[in-house]
């Protein structure tokens, strides 16, 4: 048989009959019997639906109309859920549909994620059932996905919530006994806006194999030495596919960048009269480029180029700068043209050295020195290993917090592996490449209040109180003279290439 073509477009489905289960033979059964026979609550009133369009048009909906959802529709969604397979058909799931606004408000206190929809479906499973290979979680997940698709067909929207805050509190609030484990919550309601296009998927050819795995898995290690450059490019490509929602800079990071620019590169704020004569700025390795658009707005007097490992990421960043930045590639395997040498007035590299292997840091520093003009400046921003950053990471590891590259406390959560740097290391690298240190500053010796609010958003009120107390103390330390420069998490250095 001819092998099907493998690409990213959804496979073209054969025409489908409506997804309504066949009606049981004989006269309509009574309600209990009907349930046993698998007759859905809406029965013949179920909308006609094509399976493939339901599958490919479903999106996570996070904004809902306040209108209530009729209980027969909620029942229909849950009924679709319980027709999922479960390990040994044990079906040890128990669902609680919360449509009482007061109870939902209490759930929202545990996690704001549960403040969005008029209905929160709490999905639990028997705590000590089907533990082999997490079959309990797998069974509950099958149920959740069935519910998501059923809701889509009914014109409802859902989003899957694992960030529920303290799941034991969720369980207690809705009266589930201790031997039920809350697996997740599915928010359900009438969509306020239907996203036209959802986040893209990694290509089929990259993630699927026949008979024998022939790929290169993306590591979860946070150590840059464990990542070869191609894997880093693949990871970053995958991250930009997540879309803007997952690739936003945080307010405190942008603030640090703007303060550093004002101190270290104060020129070029105004758009030039003749754009063709604008000085040139190259932003190096923007990864997801979460601060590049801000850079280009703050220094609109410059003509911007961005340089990345993969063309997808560079293009993605370029579309977010105004006017669109030119795209360049580094190293040359990216398929993009390399930056011209000796032409840039400013070369910036913000929070990017940290995800490279030590040897590549040396190479990048040498490349930046070639790209910048004689007499031009190289601006480096990095997270300092002498700040609270590393201590916070250690504390988190000790408390059993989530590990792996996804949870690194780096400024850009999509940067990949991450190693905070010491100032002497960065200055040493630049000097070895032939650059001269001109100026520098450190910022944010303590976590900023918005960052604390953000990172503790799903914590209990008690833990939040403790963290806020500690952060007030750290805030006082931050105001001590010299503390920011010595202990600031964000460090910036400007170097000059001798003229
Ligand atoms: C196991 C799992 C957990 C998730 N947890 C959350 C969550 O806590 N909060 C959230 O906003 N979205 C959550 N999502 C939704 C994903 O972000 C979403 O499915 C993904 O970005 C793809 O977008 P799409 O559903 O529109 O295709 C979760 C999805 C899954 C499968």
Closest Cα to atom 25, ligand 1: which residue?
60
pLDDT band at 15 (very low <50, low <70, confident <90, very high): very low
Whether the predicted pLDDT of 263 surpasses 60? yes
Residue reference for tokens 């630049």: 430
Whether the predicted pLDDT of 326 surpasses 50? yes
Q: How far is CA 115 from the centre of its chain?
A: 20
Q: In the beta sheet, which residues pair with residue 380? A: 349, 493
Whether the predicted pLDDT of 375 surpasses 90? yes
State the Cα–Cα distance between residues 180 and 124, nearest whole angstrom: 6
238 or 78, which is more confident? 78
State the Cα–Cα distance between residues 322 and 245, nearest whole angstrom: 20
| CB-based contacts of 319-323 (< 8 A; 24+ apart in sequence) | 320/289, 320/292, 320/293, 321/292, 321/293, 321/296, 322/293, 322/296, 322/297
How far, in Å, is the centroid of ligand 1 from the Cα of 327?
Answer: 31
Does residue 113 line the site of ligand 1, with CB under 6 A?
A: yes
CATH number of 31-189: 3.40.109.10
How far, in Å, is the centroid of ligand 1 from the Cα of 58?
Answer: 12
Does residue 85 line the site of ligand 1, with CB under 6 A?
A: no
Whether the predicted pLDDT of 118 surpasses 60? yes
Closest Cα to atom 6, ligand 1: which residue?
161
Give the pLDDT confidence score for residue 239 in this predicted structure.
79
> 276 in the Ramachandran plot: left (φ > 0), alpha (ψ -120 to 50) or beta?
alpha
Taking Cα atoms as reference points, which of 314, 313, 312 lies closest to residue 304?
314
Residues 6+ apart with CB under 8 A from 434: 369, 497, 498
20 or 110, which is more confident? 110
Does residue 160 line the site of ligand 1, with CB under 6 A?
A: yes
Closest Cα to atom 11, ligand 1: which residue?
161
State the Cα–Cα distance between residues 176 and 205, nearest whole angstrom: 43
Most confident of 106-115, 288-297, 325-334, 426-435: 426-435
Query: Which of 159, 189, 458 for a ligand 1 pocket mutation test, highest count of atoms within 8 Å of Cβ?
Result: 159
Does residue 245 line the site of ligand 1, with CB under 6 A?
A: no
Give the pLDDT confidence score for residue 29 in this predicted structure.
47
State the Cα–Cα distance between residues 182 and 9, nearest whole angstrom: 35
Of the listed ranges 59-73, 320-334, 358-372, the one predicted with least confidence: 320-334
Q: Could you say which of 3.90.1300.10, 3.40.50.150, 3.30.559.10, 3.40.50.12280 is the CATH number of the domain covering 234-496?
A: 3.40.50.150
Average pLDDT over residues 244-254: 78
Contact (Cβ atoms closer than 8 angstroms) between residue 377 and residue 496: yes
Phi, psi of 295 (to 5 degrees): -55, -45
Give the pLDDT confidence score for residue 416 in this predicted structure.
83
Closest ligand 1 atom number to CA of residue 163: 8
Does residue 162 line the site of ligand 1, with CB under 6 A?
A: yes
Give the pLDDT confidence score for residue 21 in this predicted structure.
44
Closest ligand 1 atom number to CA of residue 148: 25
Of the listed ranges 37-41, 165-169, 262-266, 289-293, the one predicted with least confidence: 37-41
Average pLDDT over residues 301-323: 88
Query: Which of 58, 59, 60 for a ligand 1 pocket mutation test, highest count of atoms within 8 Å of Cβ?
Result: 60
How far, in Å, is the centroid of ligand 1 from the Cα of 456?
Answer: 20
First-residue to last-residue Cα distance in the chain: 67
pLDDT band at 37 (very low <50, low <70, confident <90, very high): low
Q: What is the mean pLDDT of the chain?
A: 87
Closest ligand 1 atom number to CA of residue 242: 21
Whether the predicted pLDDT of 290 surpasses 60? yes
Does residue 161 line the site of ligand 1, with CB under 6 A?
A: yes
State the Cα–Cα distance between residues 103 and 342, nearest whole angstrom: 63
Average pLDDT over residues 90-99: 98
How far, in Å, is the centroid of ligand 1 from the Cα of 113?
Answer: 11
* Domains of the chain by residue range: 31-189, 234-496
Closest ligand 1 atom number to CA of residue 198: 26
Whether the predicted pLDDT of 218 surpasses 80? yes
How far, in Å, is the centroid of ligand 1 from the Cα of 159?
Answer: 6
Give the pLDDT confidence score for residue 34 in this predicted structure.
65
Helix axes 358-371 and 423-433, enclosed angle (nearest 10): 50
E strand or H helix at 237, and its extent?
A: helix 229-241
How far, in Å, is the centroid of ligand 1 from the Cα of 60?
Answer: 7
State the Cα–Cα distance between residues 419 and 425, nearest whole angstrom: 12
How far, in Å, is the centroid of ligand 1 from the Cα of 494?
Answer: 40
Does residue 163 line the site of ligand 1, with CB under 6 A?
A: yes
State the Cα–Cα distance between residues 309 and 284, nearest whole angstrom: 10
* Complete edge-to-edge strand list for the sheet that includes strand 344-350: 326-329, 303-308, 280-284, 344-350, 372-383, 490-496, 436-443
């Amino acid at each position: 048989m001819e092998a099907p073509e493998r690409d990213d477009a959804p496979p073209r489905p054969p025409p489908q009959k409506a997804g309504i289960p066949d009606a049981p033979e004989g006269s309509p059964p009574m309600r209990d019997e009907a349930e046993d026979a698998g007759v859905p609550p809406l029965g013949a009133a179920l909308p006609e639906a094509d399976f493939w369009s339901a599958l490919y048009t479903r999106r996570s909906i996070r904004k809902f109309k306040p209108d209530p959802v009729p209980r027969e529709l909620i029942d229909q969604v849950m009924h679709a859920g319980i027709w999922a397979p479960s390990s040994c058909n044990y079906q040890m799931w128990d669902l609680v549909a919360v449509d009482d606004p007061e109870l939902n408000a209490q759930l929202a206190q545990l996690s704001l994620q549960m403040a969005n929809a008029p209905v929160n479906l709490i999905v639990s499973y028997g705590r000590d059932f089907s533990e082999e290979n997490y079959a309990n979680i797998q069974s509950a997940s099958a149920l959740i996905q069935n519910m998501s698709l059923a809701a889509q067909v009914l014109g409802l929207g859902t989003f899957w919530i694992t960030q529920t805050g303290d799941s034991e509190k969720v369980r207690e609030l809705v009266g589930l006994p201790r031997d039920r484990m809350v697996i997740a919550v599915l928010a359900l309601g009438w969509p306020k806006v239907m996203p036209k296009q959802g986040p893209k998927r990694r290509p089929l050819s990259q993630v699927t194999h026949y008979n024998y795995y022939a790929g290169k898995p993306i590591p979860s290690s946070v150590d840059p030495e464990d990542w070869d450059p191609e894997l880093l490019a693949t990871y970053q490509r995958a991250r930009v596919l997540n879309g803007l929602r997952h690739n936003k800079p945080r307010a405190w990071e942008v603030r640090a960048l703007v303060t550093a620019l004002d101190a270290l590169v104060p020129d070029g704020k105004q758009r030039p009269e003749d754009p063709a004569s604008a000085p040139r700025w190259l932003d190096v390795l923007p990864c997801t480029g979460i601060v590049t658009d801000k850079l280009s707005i703050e220094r609109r007097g410059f003509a911007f180029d961005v340089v990345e490992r993969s063309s997808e990421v560079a293009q993605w960043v370029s579309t977010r700068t105004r006017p669109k930045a030119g795209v360049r590639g580094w190293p040359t395997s990216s398929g993009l043209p390399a930056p011209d040498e000796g032409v840039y007035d400013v070369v910036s590299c913000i929070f990017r050295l940290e995800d490279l292997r030590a040897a590549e840091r040396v190479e990048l520093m040498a490349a930046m020195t070639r790209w910048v003009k004689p007499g031009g400046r190289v601006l480096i921003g990095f997270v300092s290993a002498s700040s609270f950053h590393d201590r916070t990471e250690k504390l988190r590891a000790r408390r059993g917090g989530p590990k792996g590259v996804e949870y690194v406390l780096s400024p850009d959560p999509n940067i990949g592996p991450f190693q905070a740097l010491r100032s002497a290391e960065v200055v040493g690298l630049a000097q070895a490449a032939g650059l001269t240190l001109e100026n520098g500053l450190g910022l944010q010796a303590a976590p900023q209040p918005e960052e604390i609010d953000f990172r503790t958003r799903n914590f209990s009120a008690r833990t939040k109180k403790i963290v806020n107390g500690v952060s007030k103390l750290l805030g006082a330390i931050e105001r001590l003279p010299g503390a920011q420069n010595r202990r600031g998490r964000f460090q910036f250095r400007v170097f000059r290439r001798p003229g």
